[in-house]
Copies of this chain bind each other. A is one copy, B any other.
Amino acid sequence: MQLGLVGLGRMGANMRERLREHGHDAIGYDPGSEASDVATLGELVAALSPPRIVWLMVPAGEVTRSVIAGLAERLQPGDLVVDGGNSRYTDDPVNAALLGARGVRFVDCGVSGGVWGRDNGYALMVGGNPTDIEFLAPVFDALRPPGPRANSFVHAGPVGAGHYAKMVHNGIEYGLMHAYAEGYELLLAEDSIADPGAVLQAWTAGTVVRSWLLDLLVDALSGDPELASLTGYTEDSGEGRWSVEEAIAHAVPVPVISAALFARFASRQSDSPTMKAVSALRRQFGGHAVEPAVPAADQR
């Protein structure tokens, strides 16, 4: 099939390659990339034959909204926009309505696979109208790994359901990563464990905890067993926050996902106001020794 791909970052560029290898005519557009096939959004639209498919792989929020607005002005009734970025699912009905007012169809698609998806394929969670999704089947089949479709593709529900599913996927990911990481620290803390990385590697076959993330952690530890090459400063990218917010909205207890999220917040604080207040209280009531702040010049 022919389709336009807006956004040629790490994900979009890889997806263009994979689509082309599977025989699709993917035309990429990214104003900030030398790899762009066309110079403007207008050129992209002009290069496509109706009914056009335009697949977005751009940052959620502002950028996505802006591209959608640009497409709403340029596309024609019957064309179809897929938002494959990490948009919040509540943005989808808004974008769908904006496009729908012009007769343009909309499908949201959560895409998982990271930098490995180029070769391994991407898992896809989509939301939208069954007819629209059926229409896109060849594209989905090119992107996803070989094997049964149900193992890497789901029509999760109406518009928004794809991104909701992707959000939950990432929320789980936060919890999984943190569980492995806590275990790693427990191994590291115990003197009798000679090599935490070797223990983790021994779990990659046969155990209950075997997984792709575990494989990746083993890779990361090989050659850098104490992870000396990086710090614990850890960003978060939206879906973790949204997962907790949706949990609150649905009154679902998520102690694990939230603990993983809060640990990321804490990792980015040079000092914790919360702990300073705890420390201050201890000094007040108990005369407990506390760590006084020292002028930066005197600091170890």
Contact: B192 with A169, CB < 8 Å? no
Contact: B10 with A144, CB < 8 Å? no
Interface residues of A in 167-196 (CB under 8 A from B): 168-169, 171-190, 192-195
Report how far A2 CA is from B190 CA in the complex, Å: 34
Contact: B204 with A212, CB < 8 Å? no
Contact: A253 with B266, CB < 8 Å? yes
Q: A114-B208, A122-B206, A183-B169 are in contact. Are A251 and B265 (CB under 8 A)?
A: yes
Q: Does A150 contact B (CB under 8 A)?
A: yes
Residue A271 contacts which of B199, B232, B258, B263 (CB distance < 8 angstroms)?
B232
Interface centre among A121, A194, A292, by most B CB within 10 Å? A194
Interface residues of A in 192-249 (CB under 8 A from B): 192-195, 198-199, 201-214, 216-217, 219-221, 226-235, 237, 241, 243-248
Contact: A205 with B156, CB < 8 Å? no
Residue A177 contacts which of B114, B237, B266, B281 (CB distance < 8 angstroms)?
B281
Q: A181-B278, A217-B280 are in contact. Are A262 and B254 (CB under 8 A)?
A: yes
- Closest B residue to A253 by CB, please name it: B262
Report how far A211 CA is from B173 CA in the complex, Å: 11
Report how far A145 CA is from B266 CA in the complex, Å: 38
Q: What residues of B have a CB within 8 angstroms of the CB of A281 in the complex?
A: 177, 180-181, 213, 216-217, 220
Contact: B186 with A247, CB < 8 Å? yes
Nearest CB on B from A280, distance (A): 4
Q: Which one of A54-62, A63-71, A157-165 is at the B interface?
A: A157-165
Q: What residues of B have a CB within 8 angstroms of the CB of A165 in the complex?
A: 187, 193, 199, 202
Contact: A233 with B279, CB < 8 Å? yes
Q: A255-B259, A275-B263 are in contact. Are A245 and B245 (CB under 8 A)?
A: yes
Q: A211-B213, A252-B189, A279-B234 are in contact. Are A114 and B175 (CB under 8 A)?
A: no
Q: A208-B212, A254-B262, A263-B275 are in contact. Are A192 and B161 (CB under 8 A)?
A: yes
Q: What residues of B have a CB within 8 angstroms of the CB of A29 in the complex?
A: none
* In the complex, the 3 A-B pairs of residues with the closest C-beta atoms, listed nearest first: A175-B179, A232-B275, A211-B211
Chain A residues close to B by CB (< 8 Å): 10, 112-117, 120-125, 127, 144-145, 147, 150-158, 160-161, 164-165, 168-169, 171-190, 192-195, 198-199, 201-214, 216-217, 219-221, 226-235, 237, 241, 243-248, 250-268, 271-293
Other CB < 8 Å A-B pairs besides A182-B256, A207-B212, A267-B278, 9 of them?
A113-B208, A123-B203, A151-B201, A164-B192, A177-B277, A182-B254, A216-B281, A245-B245, A255-B259
